[in-house]
Structure 1
Amino acid sequence: MNNSSPQRTVTSQREQLNFTTKLAYGAGELGGAIPNNILVFFVLFFFTNVAGLNASLAGSIILVGKAWDAFNDPLIGWLSDKTRSPLGRRYPWMLIGAIPLAISFFLLWFIPPTANQWQLFAYYTILFIIYYAAVSAVWVPYSTLGAELTQSYNERTNLTSFKSSFAIGGSIFALILAQVILDIVEAPQSYLYLGAISGFISLLAVYLCVWGTYKRYKIIQNEREKIQQAPSEPILKQIKIALSNKPFLYVIGIYLCSWLGTQVTAAILPYYVVDWMKLPKIHFTQMALAVQGTALILMPFWSFMGQKFGKKAIYCMGIPGTIIAQAGFFFLQPGQTILMYILAVMAGIGISVAYIAPWAMLPDVVDLDELNTGQRREGIFYGFVVQLQKFGIAAALFLVGKTLDWSGLIPTVASQAPPVQPDSALWAIRLIIGPLPTLILIIGLVIAYFYPITQAKHEEIVLKLKESRE
């Protein structure tokens, strides 16, 4: 006890992050938060109700892109770990990858001049493959910065809260931007404008992040490079080493359940609001804003609580609110609009900690791996988690698209009046927004309960790392 307190003081003084670095790191999250949120909230609806694609094909587009991308994220993580350049290991990937990310996202909202379902399927599938590859090139290196800018347990929670605040703020901005553009400009041109503006903002955010964090990154990496070597094992062996890290498997489970549960809800939400609740489209964006706004407001609270009680504790405190809200959506009836918004606010309570906890846990897992192996392989670990993020989006959109197709959902195009959906489709919409994410989030809560790295355990890991380096 007497030895650990001075150690914490030294660590906090030496590794204290300044506000500018935190702000720049958080701003980088806009590069993914804006296009990804527009993607998950609007792309399936765009495919089926604007471009006129069959719901099953629409859901399959994302899954095909994801199948090609299966090993892309760990591969880029491995390559970025081995990259040597004047800008370091991560920044060249971010600077180059941001360009095709912005361009491919813009082209996703263009409708080719053809009514052939398979030609549309081919066009959007190719673009999704390019888009996901660009996302990997940017987001795996960007995400690793959370472990490379500081080694302090509480600083990482605080840094993650900045990242998460910008993630939620980016989601809110994307929804407001979408609502404004979709109200002012007629479809399908409105979606094209939305893609162009979002892609440009994404590019700027990535470049701002590089500019604002580079100085701090070099300071930390210069210290580490004196005592470390890059992992030299082949990628498959490094993947095996990463998967043998038991706390990492817990983080994978927590993150996958959190992301899959929320993305399923986001993908089905426009159908739920318009087709089941019989409300105008504007209520869809307002519902999403209620969820994300609540999550953003609570972000400083959960960051404080995380530093006081730990990352696992805040996850177990916050997620039950979202579980109750998800179950409640199933029982809502048309006309219960106020209750719908109350449940949206409840859902935002858990969404807030779902953004913070898994990302704040991940750097601690990387430290444990360094203690066990003597090497730092942030790229591999973060590659897996970025892979899970994209898998969550792809699986959610595929699952929703397939289920809606099987249930008899009637697709349409922008120039046609909205159809009256059959009872089977309405029943499927309610199941997807209620029981399905509820079950997924409960599983994630159980996994989080058994997560083993506490603050005391992490301080022990850091102390041993310092001793081994000295």
Structure 2
Amino acid sequence: MASTAEGVAPAPADKPPVALKLAHGFGSVAFGVKDGGFNYFLLLFYGTVVGVEPGLVGLAIFIALVFDAVSDPVVGYWSDNLRSRWGRRHPFMYAAALPVGLSYFLLWSPPEWSQTGLFIYLTVLAVTIRTFITFYETPSSALLPELSRDYEERTSIQAYRLFFGWVGGNAMSVLMFGVLLTGPLGMRDPDGFRTYGVVASVLMVTAILVSAMGTHHRIPTFSKPSPSPERFSLRRILREMFEILSERSFIALFIATVIFSIALGVNTSLAFLMLNYFWGFSEFQIFIWTTTVFISAAMSFFIAPFAVRKLGKKHATIALGLLAFTIQPLPVLLRLVDLMPENGDPILFPIMLAVNIFDLALIIAVQTVSYSMIADLVESNQVRTGRRNEGVYYAAMTFTRKTTQGLGVLAAGLILSLIAFPEGEEPSAVPQDTLWQLGAFYAPTLLILWMAALYCLSRYKIDKAQHEANLAALAEVKSD
């Protein structure tokens, strides 16, 4: 166990200053902007503005996901074992900044090529962007366990990160729908998308550099890779990764994250249809709905740390989740039995808006606490194996977030196919029976997925007492 001590750096302050939390958290703006662009605008832009066949756009994104399947764990493991004067993480973070900005700018300013040429152009840029986002996001996220080893403080640090991720992504959506796409061409305005590309690229580069430079001074306090008598080999890498990922608490958290991501994919994919068709809200009301995400993110910033202090991480996640995931489908279920105001009633939108603000705050809080639970796996794994592998853990979660939402999109598509939802019809032209079926599939599907995810989280075993015991065991090894 002597080698373990070499991998343990001086313990960081239990409560890092607010400036450090802000710097680390602000970096998640880059991932939030990229995620929003890929989820909401990429298919719209290339399919309707540029004129690429939607199937080719989907294929390009799928190819990028295949590359993610390789790059995420590779970058995670590589950053766990890198030795440099800038530590294990920061070389990746600095290296990502300019490639991310340049490739994201080019993505929204495509040349006038053929279908094949544009498909290749989109595929190359999608792979490049997602790979270099991994170069930044995985090492940056993996800094969290080393910024503080305090059980509750880690949730506070994660709250900053989730807050900026949601705010950054949503700010670009508000800019698009409220400013850039409001001209005569509306959603088909290529200049609006080009301007978005410039603004988004500058914001992403700024976020990455601010985060990297703002945490740079803490490098001497971060752990170094533990030396190993074995030479690097594929066999060693696979064995170590199996050891890391075989911990039961990690498996519980991983499966829960997969199910959460699928549920989010269903919710995101059907959000516009539910708001515009099921509830009959206007485009302006939907825009107002979008802007209130900032309120929800701010509320969650305080809810998550408070809940952890009172309940501990696992119980806080379950309690918040039970509340959030029953509130979310409740209005739909009430509408199905005619207990909600009719569409067009002046009271309907304020009721739904208030419910959504509170519910989304709870959902973001659940994400915050569940992601902070990853940090506590690091010391548990170090006690078992003698190695710190933050990068591998966070790479697994990052990959899950990026890929399984696609399963949610698939599930949403199956729902629309089952109810034979008409394409291109105005809300008033869709039969009421079809809208009722949409709600009848939407609400129970989400409820089942959310409850399954919470059940998996209940199998997570590391509480505050176990975490502190792990820290004590590592401190004892270090002192030997």
TM over 0.5: same fold? yes
Q: CA deviation at 1:375?
A: 1.0
Determine whether 1:359 maps to 2:357: no
1:388 maps to amino acid: T
Q: Tell me the CA shift for residue 420 of structure 1.
A: 8.3
Whether the 8 Å contact between 2:86 and 2:219 is mirrored in structure 1 is no
Q: Distance in 2 between matches of 1:329 and 1:290?
A: 18
1:199 CA displacement: 1.7
CA drift of 1:204 comes to 0.4
8 Å contact 2:303–2:365 — kept in the other structure?
A: no
Q: 2-side partners of 1:55 and 1:317: how far apart?
A: 41
Q: Give CA-to-partner distance per residue, 1:350-403, whole Å, 9 cap, x none.
A: 322233112211111011110001111211111111111111344344554676
Q: What is the alpha-carbon distance in structure 2 between the residues aligned to residue 215 and residue 86 of structure 1?
A: 12
Q: 1:281 to 1:105 in 2, by over 3 A?
A: farther
Indicate the residue corresponding to 2:7 in structure 1. Answer: none
**Where does residue 437 of structure 1 map in the other structure?**
446
Superposed CA offset, 1:134-174 (max 9, x none):
21111111110112222221221221122122223223423
**1: CA distance, partners of 2:429 / 2:270:** 14
5+ unaligned residues in a row in structure 2: which ranges?
1-9, 336-341
* Correspondence list, 1:219-230, <5 A: 219-221=221-223, 228-229=226-227
Q: In the alignment, which of 151, 163, 168 is matched to residue 166 of structure 2?
A: 168
Q: Distance in 2 between matches of 1:334 and 1:194?
A: 34
**CA distance in structure 1 between the partners assigned to 2:242 and 2:402 by the alignment:** 21
What does the per-residue CA deviation read over 1:13-55, in whole Å, with 9 as the maximum and x for residues that have no partner?
Answer: 9433122211111111112112212432333444555455666
- Which residue of structure 1 lines up, in the alignment, with residue 300 of structure 2? 298
- Distance change >3 Å, CA 110–CA 405, structure 1 → 2: farther
Classify 1:85/1:20 alpha carbon distance in 2 versus 1 (closer, same or farther; 3 Å): same
- C-alpha deviation, 1:133, in angstroms: 1.0
Which segment drifts farther, 262-271 or 244-253? Answer: 262-271
- Matching residue of 1:126: 124
Equivalent in the alignment of 1:96: 95
Note if 1:379 corresponds to 2:391.
yes
What is the correspondence of 1:284-433 to structure 2 with a 5 Å cutoff?
284-328=286-330, 330-331=332-333, 332=335, 334-335=343-344, 336-400=348-412, 407=420, 410=423, 430=439, 433=442
- Structure-2 residue corresponding to 1:448: 457
Shift in CA distance, 398/101, structure 1 to aligned 2, threshold 3 Å: farther
Q: Which amino acid aligns with 2:218?
A: R
How far apart are the structure 2 equivalents of 1:288 and 1:314?
Answer: 27
CA-atom RMSD in angstroms:
3.2
Give the distance between the partners of 2:269 and 2:443, measured in 1 at CA: 13
Q: What fraction of aligned residue pairs are identical, expressed as a percent? A: 22
User: Across the two proteins, how many residue pairs are aligned to each other?
Assistant: 450
Residue 106 in structure 1 maps to residue 105 in structure 2: yes
C-alpha distance after superposition, 1:203-232 (max 9, x if no partner): 1011001111111232233xx56xx33795
Give distance in 2, aligned partners of 1:68 and 1:12. 36
Please give the secondary structure, in 1, of the residue aligned with 2:364.
helix
The alpha-carbon distance between structure 1 residues 437 and 217, as it changes in their structure 2 partners (threshold 3 A), is farther
Q: Distance in 1 between matches of 2:219 and 2:291?
A: 34
Amino acid at match of 1:207: L
Q: Which residue among 141, 151, 154 is the counterpart of 2:152? A: 154
Supply the distance in 1 between the matched residues of 2:405 and 2:164 (Cα, whole angstroms).
19
Aligned residue number for residue 63 of structure 2:
64
Which letter does structure 1 place at the counterpart of 2:81? K
* Contact 2:92 2:139 (C-alpha < 8 Å) held by counterparts: yes
Of stretches 92-101 and 169-178 in structure 1, the one that deviates more from structure 2 is 169-178
Give yes or no for contact 1:56–1:402 (8 Å, CA) kept in 2: no
Q: Quick one: distance in 1 between partners of 2:194 and 2:330? A: 35
* Paired residue secondary structure (1:15): coil
Unpaired runs of 5+ residues, structure 1, are 1-10, 412-416
Distance 2:357 2:307 in 1: 20
Check conservation: 1:410, 1:421, Cα contact below 8 A.
Answer: no
CA shift, 1:112, in A, is 5.4
Partner of 2:478: 469
- Give the direction of change, closer, same or farther, for the CA distance of 1:237–1:280 in structure 2 (3 Å limit): same
Give the Å deviation of 1:281. Answer: 2.9
Aligned 8 A contact 1:53 1:120 in 2: yes
Matched-pair contact (CA < 8 Å) for 2:92–2:135: yes
* Superposed counterparts of 1:206-221, under 5 Å: 206-221=208-223
Residue 456 of structure 1 and its aligned partner are, at CA, apart by 0.8
CA distance in 2 between partners of 1:103 and 1:321 (Å): 42
**In structure 2, C-alpha distance between the alignment counterparts of 1:122 and 1:422, rounded to whole Å:** 38
Alpha-carbon distance change, 286 to 216 in structure 1, aligned in 2, over 3 angstroms: same
Displacement of 1:409 in angstroms is 5.7
Paired residues of 1:364 and 1:458 also in contact (CA < 8 A)? yes
Q: Is the contact between residue 25 and residue 212 of structure 1 (CA under 8 Å) also seen in structure 2?
A: yes
Opposite residue 452 of structure 2, the aligned amino acid is: I
TM-score (norm 2): 0.83
Return the alpha-carbon distance in structure 2 between the equivalents of residues 17 and 436 of structure 1.
Answer: 41
CA distance in 1, matches of 2:460, 2:15: 26
Asked whether the equivalents of residues 260 and 396 of structure 1 are also in contact (C-alpha less than 8 Å), the reply is yes
Q: Which moved more, 1:299-308 or 1:209-218?
A: 299-308
Moved more, 101-110 or 247-256: 101-110
